[in-house]
Amino acid sequence: MSVRHALLALLSEGPKYGLQLRQEFEARTGEVWPLNVGQVYMTLQRLERDGQVESDEDGEDGPQKGYRLTEAGGIELTRWLGPPADTGVPPRDELVIKVLIALRVPGVDVPELMQAHRRRLVGMMQYFTRLKEDALEDEIGLLVVADAEIYRLDAVIRWLDSAEARLRNRPAADPAVEQPALAPRRRRAGALR
């Protein structure tokens, strides 16, 4: 699970305090993935080291220290939300996290993002179906392995379809989709105080 990217997503909505980040993370993942305080601060430190977030210069480490997303952090978040660049498929749980996170990132077209993943998954399924088609009837091992991959991909696609249907049917005017586009924020020391 990507705590890093969840934190980047929360900061894409605007500057936040450490404690606030932890509370919002838990609230928005339906409290399915509880975080401990140490995890949050350790991850924030690494993000800051990598130039993806910035913190108040004068703030002390702790729940009241403010953090902001940098341009590099915004780029990393967008890259991660899309399908992986290699031929692998993210495990289903990672895709769940990506969709949950994308729902909260201003300016992200979530159905379009889901379609990008769906296209990738169907393309992989076509590959395994070709393997099956070209296999000989007695190549049971190959046929069974291809089936296993096809059913696994099918489960992910079905979940994407149902998630998209839920998204379409949700009540209008959810503030999560009404927010301004993701933009790099200028560093303003002490802006949260």
User: Could you give the string, one character per residue 38-77, with x where binding to another protein holds by CB under 8 A and - elsewhere?
Assistant: ----------------------------------------
Length reported for the chain? 193
- For residues 104-123, which are near another protein according to CB under 8 A? 111, 115, 118-119, 121-123
For another protein, the closer CB: 75 or 135: 135
For another protein, the closer CB: 51 or 84: 84
DSSP bridge partners of 55: 67
Residues 7 and 100 sit within 8 Å (Cβ to Cβ): no
For another protein, the closer CB: 10 or 89: 89
Cα–Cα dist 37/178, whole Å: 30
Instruction: Determine the distance from the C-alpha atom of residue 180 to the mean position of all C-alpha atoms in its chain, rounded to a whole number.
Output: 18
Report the phi/psi class of residue 4: left, alpha or beta, with left for phi > 0 and alpha for psi in -120 to 50.
alpha
- What is the three-class DSSP state of 114? helix
From 97, 141, 140, select the one nearest 2 (Cα to Cα). 97
For another protein, the closer CB: 103 or 125: 125
Cα–Cα dist 114/137, whole Å: 36
For another protein, the closer CB: 75 or 145: 145
Among 89, 103, 163, 192, binds another protein (CB under 8 A): 89
Phi, psi of 82 (to 5 degrees): -75, 175
User: Could you give the string, one character per residue 156-185, with x where binding to another protein holds by CB under 8 A and - elsewhere?
Assistant: -xx--x--xx--------------------
81 binds another protein (CB under 8 A): no
The residues that touch another protein, with contacts defined as CB under 8 A, are 87-89, 91, 111, 115, 118-119, 121-130, 132-133, 145, 149-150, 153-154, 157-158, 161, 164-165
